[in-house]
Structure 1
Amino acid sequence: MNPEVLIRQAARLADDLREFAGLFARRAGDLLSGPERASIGQVYLVGQGDSYHAACAAEPAFASIGGVPGRAAGAFRFSAYDSRWAHRGGAGRTLVVAASASGRTPAVLAALERARDAGALTVAVTGTPGSPVTGAAERVLAVDLPGQEPSPGVRTYQASLLGMLLIAVRLGGAEALHGELAALAGPVAATHEATGPRARAEAEHAAGSPGAAVLGSGPNHGTAMFAAAKLVESAGLPAVGQDLEEWAHVERWARPRDTPVYVLAPPGHAHGHAGAIAARARELGKRVVVVAERGDAAATRAAHATFEVAGRAREEFSPFLYHVFAVHLAARVAQRLGRRPFQSRPEENH
């Protein structure tokens, strides 16, 4: 598996939004009746790996757009712990949305079974119609994409995130937002084009480091975890995705002092704090790279380098724009280190 597969995946992101956002929105519109929507009192978003990162990125939208509290949970944690009390003491029924691109993730299947046994309404978000999760859940939102090839999750991550956000939109009766999601295709394409050359330059620094940290908050805490996962899966580079303030409390003390720190700074509630954390990281000797809207001088003032994001989205939808840099960076770091995704062998170049 050649790292270039990641770039091909990134190149398809905008077209996927343009071609499938409307179709997936219509499917989401059929998931829940009006009375069912009104009955939901809380939502659990369950996944493993990229699906869990998508759940963390989508979580804030369930309160702000869907009108119900949402909580992201790893699939095993939900089965072993959360499912025991997820349906106690709250007003309304519990909705469990479980994502698996392959539709075969054992921990996600177990979570769906536990949720149904406890009386929750279950929805599977999957890229594989007819897969095991479609039989384990009461409802299915298929987010299947054509032309898939073996790769660390990129297009599948975006599809899972889109599916979860469309469920939040459906719960809140906010279908007017569908147009905003489809319109992100242009900014995603422009960000992809702008990111390529910058990633080649930044990969020289990242490849020479023993590790990296990616920081974000709100919906982009999920983006930070996704970005770190791509560096690990694609290049074998130890990386952590962390909340802005948690990093400032703990991981800032990690050595070596000049470890790269990538700070996600979209407009929104955490924007000012992202700039402050970037400045603090530079004071500590870190190599600071800020991912921010083009022309955002406030967020990038302390940066050694930047990844520019072309365009703006409401904060709940910003993960569609702020994860693109990581795909390019992971591919170029892997190439500089002579590594292949998932430590695959050279002959596995397909």
Structure 2
Amino acid sequence: MTPSYTLAEMLRQADALAEDLRTLHGQTLEQVRGVPVGQDRSVISRVYLVGSGDSYHAALAAQMAFHRLAGVSCEPLSALRMLEYGAAWEQDDALLSGALVIGISASGGNRRLIEALERAGEHGARTLAITATAHSPLTQVADHTLTLPLAGLRPCPGIRTYQASLLGLLLTAIELGRQRGHRSAYADVLNREVLAAADAVEATTMALRSRCERLADRIAGAPVTMVLGSGPGYGTALFAAAKLIEAAGVFAAGQDLEEWEHVEVLARPRDMPTMVIATPGRSRSRALQVATRARGYGRTVIAVADDDDHDLAETAHVVLPLHGTVREEFSALLSHLFAGPLACFVAGRLNRLPFTTNRP
């Protein structure tokens, strides 16, 4: 039987994110501290973050946290790339003996991901599953599991599940850093920052609703929408494009800020809606340059930026403001919040429901 998807559920899930973060934080932290993935510093030298769809986007958004807070090399891979290309299976097993492979799947039923974790374990890697579904097939093949249960979850393009996956990854990065020798007090500070981000999530969600509703009128008729970002914002860009596709059946594409300047800058129509993830951090200045360039070419520019970023406010046609301050490693907790409501309102303007494109 086909699940019953509604636009109202998308808005309910967006409204639940702040409370989800508060509720899940303690439960997830307790589980993470029970996973001894990094107690021997010589064991874990690199991390693979593996998933498909939203799970892969969360992996991209969390990569910086593993680099900076855990102090390990980290590579996000789609499930198929990990399985067939990503880990040099046919070479010496020692290549994976120092690896931690984290498989992310809300349902826990991604067949390619299950096969990838099985193969990684066979070649000497430690494996960890992050899922919202207890006792799923993914949990049966992983050495350790983080289960992030979401009460009252209903059929919907991934919104609550995306944040839960991202939370699991961020707390794992912090704990891995602690187990590898970072001061426990520093890990405690980082964990408190993640929990405190719930207030910023709540304030940002409230501020975005009406702006997303008005913006939907502006972009619903566009043949394509671009979403641009870099660093953690690249994961957000892909996630936001996916929500527009899943909810409204419109074509949207996520792209790296720099790559857009080399390729998609040439695409038509000239007034194509172009969303720029411009959160504070390393790529913010480049995001401003790209937004300025895009507007000069005639694009309709939408900036996802700090609420007091006056430069972006002057450059963009529309600003989707982020309220509250978080370090860049955690910025995806805020930057993705517009995606669900905007996709919902675009679908409403087009009189469409999620996931209906290929139904009879």
Q: Same fold (TM over 0.5)?
A: yes
Q: Which residue in the other structure is 1:177 paired with?
A: 190
Within the candidate set 4, 7, 11, 2:8 is matched to 4
Within the candidate set 140, 160, 173, 1:135 is matched to 140
Q: Which residue in the other structure is 1:220 paired with?
A: 233
The CA distance in 2 between the partners of 1:298 and 1:200, in whole Å, is 24
- TM-score, structure 1 length as denominator? 0.95
Q: Partner of 1:65: helix, strand, or coil?
A: helix
Q: Partner of 2:88: helix, strand, or coil?
A: helix
Q: Which residue in the other structure is 1:160 paired with?
A: 165
1:81 aligns with 2:85: yes
1:308 aligns with 2:313: no
Q: Partner of 1:35: helix, strand, or coil?
A: coil
Q: How far 1:83 sits from its partner (Å)?
A: 2.5
Q: 1:34 to 1:110 in 2, by over 3 A?
A: closer
Gaps of 5+ in 1: none
Q: Partner of 2:109: helix, strand, or coil?
A: coil
The CA distance in 2 between the partners of 1:279 and 1:65, in whole Å, is 33
Q: How far 1:239 sits from its partner (Å)?
A: 0.4
Q: Which deviations, in whole Å up to 9, do the C-alpha atoms of 1:165-208 show, x marking residues without a partner?
A: 11111111124311001101111011111111101110011101
Q: Which deviations, in whole Å up to 9, do the C-alpha atoms of 1:131-155 show, x marking residues without a partner?
A: 1111110110111111100000000
Identity of matched residues, %:
46
Do the aligned partners of 2:37 and 2:44 also contact (CA within 8 Å) in 1?
Answer: no
Within the candidate set 119, 124, 131, 1:119 is matched to 124
Q: How far 1:29 sits from its partner (Å)?
A: 0.9
1:258 aligns with 2:271: yes
The CA distance in 1 between the partners of 2:38 and 2:276, in whole Å, is 40
Do the aligned partners of 2:230 and 2:283 also contact (CA within 8 Å) in 1?
Answer: yes
Q: Which residue in the other structure is 1:106 paired with?
A: 111
Do the aligned partners of 1:83 and 1:114 also contact (CA within 8 Å) in 2?
Answer: no
Do the aligned partners of 1:7 and 1:331 also contact (CA within 8 Å) in 2?
Answer: yes
Do the aligned partners of 1:43 and 1:69 also contact (CA within 8 Å) in 2?
Answer: yes
The CA distance in 1 between the partners of 2:45 and 2:38, in whole Å, is 14
**What letter is aligned with 1:258?**
D
Q: Which residue in the other structure is 2:216 paired with?
A: 203
The CA distance in 2 between the partners of 1:26 and 1:253, in whole Å, is 49
Please tell me the root mean square deviation across aligned C-alpha atoms, in Å: 1.7
Q: For this pair of structures, how many residues does the alignment match?
A: 346
1:31 aligns with 2:35: yes
Q: Which residue in the other structure is 1:245 paired with?
A: 258
Gaps of 5+ in 2: 179-186
Equivalent residues in 2 for 1:266-305, closer than 5 Å: 266-305=279-318
Do the aligned partners of 1:271 and 1:299 also contact (CA within 8 Å) in 2?
Answer: no
The CA distance in 1 between the partners of 2:57 and 2:358, in whole Å, is 27
Within the candidate set 343, 348, 355, 1:330 is matched to 343
Q: 1:5 to 1:186 in 2, by over 3 A?
A: same
Q: Which residue in the other structure is 2:102 paired with?
A: 97
The CA distance in 2 between the partners of 1:227 and 1:89, in whole Å, is 38
Do the aligned partners of 1:215 and 1:224 also contact (CA within 8 Å) in 2?
Answer: yes
Do the aligned partners of 2:47 and 2:74 also contact (CA within 8 Å) in 1?
Answer: yes
Q: Partner of 1:200: helix, strand, or coil?
A: helix
- TM-score, structure 2 length as denominator? 0.93
Within the candidate set 14, 18, 22, 1:18 is matched to 22
Q: Partner of 1:230: helix, strand, or coil?
A: helix
